[in-house]
Structure 1
Amino acid sequence: MLIVEIIVSFFLLLGAFFALAGSIGLYRLKDFFTRLHGPTKATTLGVGSMAVASAIYFSFHLEGISLHEVLITFFLFVTAPISAHFLAKAARHQRIHEDKGHPDSD
């Protein structure tokens, strides 16, 4: 069981690192389109890694594969790019410029 705990710890630390990196990117980047990469790329990978860690942990401590965590991970990786695409499309429709970050700024 030590190997399972090491694997779970690895995925938790990896997930925490990517979630922190995505959050810092969301805070530090200057405009809407670059800020969009933080939550859609790094944070999605971070939360996905934490969900994988949870699936591994509960699969070994309960009987069988933990279906809840597998479904959460699947829907997370499917819906995050779609929502990012819709946000970027809406920003383009609102004419949010890449350098200013608010509508119709020159």
Structure 2
Amino acid sequence: MHTLPLWMEWAVAALLVTGGVFTLVGAIGMLRFPDFYMRLHAPTKATTLGVGGVLLASLAVSWWRGEFGVPELLITLFLFITAPVSANLLAKAALHLGVPSKAGQPPTNQPKPGEAP
């Protein structure tokens, strides 16, 4: 069995803690945000980064042990490809169904009265 040197243990621990913090922020965002569109950001942004940190820690340990880390690379690849695509499809479906948003209307780029265009 290969033991990790102290610096590698600290690096892996830092990646795990960082991943855990991002995942926690994503979970809190799912609870705290007021509507569907805002809640969509929590799993697609913060939780993806959280799982990415945990996978990087696992990849570092497997590389140190002399393994190539194919499962970690495949999980990372599929996660970073499917999370944005699924979030985009969910947002489009919500827009199509007319799910209301509490964010309000975005600002327009029209000049205010009395301003030059």
TM-score normalised over the length of structure 1: 0.89
Does residue 59 of the first structure (1) align with residue 63 of the second (2)? yes
Q: CA deviation at 1:34?
A: 0.4
Give the CA deviation at 1:3.
1.5
> Corresponding residue for 1:103?
none
Q: How does 1:64-79 map to 2 (within 5 A)?
A: 64-79=67-82
- Which stretches in structure 2 are left out of the alignment for 5+ residues? 103-117
Larger Rg: 2
Aligned CA RMSD, in angstroms, stands at 1.3
- State the Cα distance separating 1:59 from its structure 2 match: 1.4
Q: Where does 1:1-106 land on structure 2 (aligned, <5 Å)? A: 1-61=5-65, 63-99=66-102
Greater than 2 Å deviation, 4+ residue runs: none
Q: Which structure has greater helix proportion? A: 1
State percent identity of aligned pairs: 47
Q: Distance in 2 between matches of 1:64 and 1:24?
A: 35
Aligned length: 99
Runs of 5+ consecutive residues of structure 1 not aligned to the other structure: 100-106
Q: Structure 1 residue 65: deviation in Å? A: 2.2
CA distance in 1, matches of 2:97, 2:14: 42
